[in-house]
Amino acid sequence: MLQSSSPRALSGPWLAAPLLLYFLVFVLAPQIVLVVMSFRGLEGAFTLSHFARVLSDPMTYDVLISTLRLGLTTTLLTLLIGYPYALGMVYASPRIKSLLLLLVVLPLLVSGVVRTFGWMVALGNQGPVNELLQWLGVTDQPLRILFTETAVVIGLTQIEMPMMVLSLYTVLGRMDSSLLLASRSLGEGHWKTLVRVILPLSVPGLIAGCSLVFASAVGSFVAQTVLGGGGLLYMPMYIYQQSILSQEWAFAAALALILMVAVGAIIFAGNALARKSKGYIYG
């Protein structure tokens, strides 16, 4: 009797307790501290002065727009490269599919810091990228790629690519092949089948991948700092300067909260579009 009841005692909410505890301690609690700190004035009094300072500072707008532009550009490039790659994985033979999947997962086994410094070497004046451009005759002298926004975009595109490809492949791999056969039997060519059948069916994975890549690229402190150098300033570095260097923790908390709200709004809109697309497709 005792043995039959023990599995029941370990089922249900108790199995989720460790995950819930982890979420409360390491995710929710820091966010609460951040919100409280952003509204904290002298001697612990409630104040909105930090947000007023953020909203009245033109530099904050410039940095925020640059950060969002960086995330948008990275997301667009990962989509343009990742969508054909994920589609190729779906139609490839099992052996080629395993190889393509390995190429996607393999970078995840290497630290993002290592990959970032690898791009720093590759994009340098004496790096292989400049040597290839000179060998092809594109330029006579090394181009200044490193420490520009182009370098940051290139590095982030490669770093964030697995999230886009895996999100798309998960959805594309579940497509009903009979829908594609029906489209071809009705006289639709490859391109019309792609636009009218495959693309609408992949909208949930497309939105999920774009949301993940955008949120990660916007907050990628290491890649932005290393590949961008001191000439470029994005929100993560700006928050670091205000908190660690200037010791203005409340102002930095307000900056972080504004960035979180902007990214959260985009993710929420993406999830809403994903649910709407599912209802449109499946009725």
Judged by DSSP in three states, 40 sits in strand
Give the per-residue pLDDT at 283: 47
Q: What is the pLDDT of residues 5-28, one digit of tens each?
A: 455 555 667 778 888 898 888 888
Beta bridge partners of 46: 40
Sequence letter at residue 82 = G
- Encode burial over 249-268: b for 16+ CB neighbours within 10 A, e otherwise: bbbbbbbbbbbeebbeebbe
- pLDDT above 80 (res 106): yes
Rounded to whole angstroms, how far apart are CA atoms 189 and 255?
50
The predicted model gives 182-186 an average pLDDT of: 74
User: What is the CATH number that goes with domain 51-282?
Assistant: 1.10.3720.10
Beta bridge partners of 210: none
| Domain residue limits, the chain | 1-38, 51-282
Record the tokens describing residue 72, joined without a space. 């948008």
Rounded to whole angstroms, how far apart are CA atoms 138 and 132?
9
What percent of the chain clears pLDDT 90, i.e. is strictly above it? 51
More confident residue, 237 or 43: 237
DSSP-derived letter for residue 148 is S
Beta bridge partners of 155: none
DSSP-derived letter for residue 46 is B
